[in-house]
Structure formats: C-alpha cells, structure tokens
Chains A and B, each alone.
Chain A
Amino acid sequence: MAETAASGPGMPQLDVTTFSNQIFWLVVTMVVLYFVMSRVALPRIAAVLADRRGTITSDIAAAEEYKLKAQQAEDAYHKALADARAEAHRIVEAAKADIQAQLDVQIAKADAEIAAKASESERRIREIRDSAMEMVSEVSQVATKDILESFGGKADAASVSAAVAARLKAGAAS
C-alpha cells in the first residue's frame, strides 16, 4: 500500500475516471432489468399466484359443498333412525294396550265369576247358619220342655219358646 500513495488515489472506488463508465453500465443494467422484471417476470408470477389463489378458493368452496352434502345425508340418516324408533315405540305401545285390554276383560270375567261364587258360598253359609240357629232354638225348646217336665213342672209351649228366644238373643248380643 506504500506504493499506492505515490500513484494517486489508492482505492479503486475513489478513482473518478472510472465513474462515468460504471454509471453508464449501471443505468443500462437497471433499465434492462426493470423491463425484464416489470414486463415479463412479475406479471407472470402474479398471474400464477392469482391462479393458485383462485383454485384454492374454488376447491375450498367445493369442499364446503361436500361437507354440506355429508351433513344433509347425516341429518337424513338421523331422521330415518328417529322415525324407525318412533314406529317401533308405537308398535310396542299398541301391543301393550292390546294385551292390557285383553287382560282387563279376563280380569273382569274372573272377578265376576269369583263374585258369583262368593255370593253363592255366602248364601249357602247363611242357609247353614240359619238352619243351625233354628235347630239350636228347637233343640233348646225341646230340652227346656224336657227338663221342666222331668222336674215335674208343666211347661207351657209358648212361654218356653219366648224365654228361650230371649236367652238366645241375650247370648247373641253378649
């Protein structure tokens, strides 16, 4: 670098004689590059990018549409399922009601039979009891008369039966 001090400016960057050359070629270069870029490269890339964006947008729209269709299909499926379930429910209900009705009829019939049998039984029980009561009073009168006669007393049939009836009544009441 010592010798550069002798031969003018040492830095080629500061050599003014080459400036005009550099500036001229720089201007040429920039103009050429500007036209290549702005006329050819940039519109082409912009078109490609716009094209891609358009494609992506339309693809997304199509995907959205398919999604909607799938949603509809799913809705239809759910609806069919719900319908089938309701139908099944209805059939079960109908069968249940049918069975209930039959059951009611049978129960009513059975109730009626039971009631008839019960009243019949009651009637017979009452008959038996009545006849038993009658026999009790009859036996009591005969027994009373026999007792009185065996004691030597004379028994009047009417008073005996009244007395027995009173006694039986009192016993039944107590």
Chain B
Amino acid sequence: MDQFQVKALFGGDVSWYTPTNVTLWMALTVLAATALMVYGARGRALVPSRAQSAAEMTYGFIYKMVEDVAGRDAVRFFPYIFTLFMFVLFANLLGLVPFAFTTTSHIAVTAVLAFTVFFTVTALGFILHGTKFLKLFWVSSAPLPLRPVLALIELISYFVRPVSHSIRLAGAMMAGHAVAKVFAGFAAALGAAFFLPILAVTALYALELLVAVIQAYVFTILTCVYLKDALHPAH
C-alpha cells in the first residue's frame, strides 16, 4: 500500500502547502496535457502532423460527446469538461508509469472533482430553472401513486451520484494498482516459476491501460449526463 503513500518531496511533515509527490505528479499531468494540446498542435498546419492530429482528435471526441450527450447549449462548458478529461486521462496514464504516484487513486482528489461537478450542476439547475429543476425528481410519466416513491428513489440516486462518481474512479485505479502489486509480490515468492506472475502482470498492465482510458471517458461522459439533467431537467 506504500505506493499510495503521500510523502513530502523534501522531507518533513505534510502540511497543506508542502510540495509532495501529489504536487510532482499533478505538475507532470499538466505538463503532459500541455505537451499534447499546446506543443503538439503548435504547427497549426492545414495538414496536421501526428501529434497535432492526436490533439485534434481528442478535441473533436470530447466536443462531440458534449454536444451529443449534454446538448448543443452545453458547449459553453466544453473547456471545463475538456480540462476534467485531460486531467483524469493523463493522471491515470502517468500513474501506470513504474514507481509513479497515481493522484486519481486518492479518494480526496476524485471526491473534489466529483463534488465540484455535483455542486456546479445543482447550482446551474436552480439558476436556470428555479424550482422547476425539482421536476427532475417528479417523474410525471409514472402513475400518480408511484410518484412519491419514485421521487424518493430519484432523490437518493441524485445524492449518491457524486459518491459513485468519485469512488468509481478512485476504486478502479486503486484496485488495478493493488492487484498489479500483489502479482508482482508473487513473482518474488514463487522463485523458479517467476515468469508466470510476470506474464500475468503484463496482461494486467494492458488491461489497466484500457481501464485508465475508459475511466477517464466514463468520468467525462457522466459529467455530461449530469450537465444534461441540469440543462434539460424534464424527463
């Protein structure tokens, strides 16, 4: 579990402003995202280079997702959603580097991200629609006696959203890294048959690469879904 330990970079205790390995890997995340989106796309070529093409595809992918899932009027939140996606994606991918610290495996980090989304979306819903936003919980297509029950369920599921939103990401990241470490521990314990766990770790690593990207995608698309509920609360 010490791969998840928060440590001060230059020794000493961890207070709120101490530069820690969290600081280091978050800075690297920003650098990686900047490298792709700014340095990679610096040519502004009409026929893009490989890096520029990757940057443009990422842009187009997220733009289309926001437009399709959250609606055309959600495009003004596109920079925010794009920032979320880039941060989660590069934090997940950099966490797979050996000896790296995975910032997104910490519940504190993902909880802040998820609760920011949750409060933004809730405030947005009330600002745009006033009390009509509460219609989100009142399923008008259901029979009348069922509606209070459904409203209760909807209300609970609404408040569980940020919890599941954050725990999903942190849990997936932490589970993958913990399992990789367990298999790596087997390699030392098995002696002559060490190659079996190493093969397993290799396969697991490929799976983790997939999970890193999918979790970033899921985090972003769920943000879009919540945003859609705030923009168009009617069922």
Contacts and interface: CB of A to CB of B under 8 A. Distances in A.
- Would A and B touch once assembled, by the CB under 8 A criterion? yes
Interface stretch (B22-30, B155-163, B192-200): B22-30
Nearest to A4: B1
A33 B81 CA distance: 12
A30 interface: yes
Interface residues of A, number: 40
Contacts, number: 129
B183 interface: no
Nearest to A40: B38
B16 A42 contact: no
Interface string B172-184: 0010000000000
Contact of B82 (A20, A25, A42, A48): A42
Contacts of B67: none
A48 B174 contact: no
A34 B83 contact: yes
A48 B43 CA distance: 10
A63 B34 CA distance: 38
Interface stretch (A5-13, A80-88, A94-102, A117-125): A5-13
Contact of A20 (B16, B38, B52, B174): B16
Contact of A48 (B5, B38, B41, B80): B41
B15 A21 contact: yes
A32 B83 CA distance: 10
Nearest to A46: B59
B55 A45 contact: yes
Given A13-B108, A18-B14, A22-B22, A37 B1 contact: no
Contacts of A36: 30, 33-34, 37-38
A17 B14 contact: yes
Residue among B16, B44, B107 having the largest count of chain A Cβ atoms under 10 Å: B16
Nearest to A39: B79
B4 interface: yes
Contacts of A18: 6, 14, 20, 22, 108
A27 B112 contact: yes
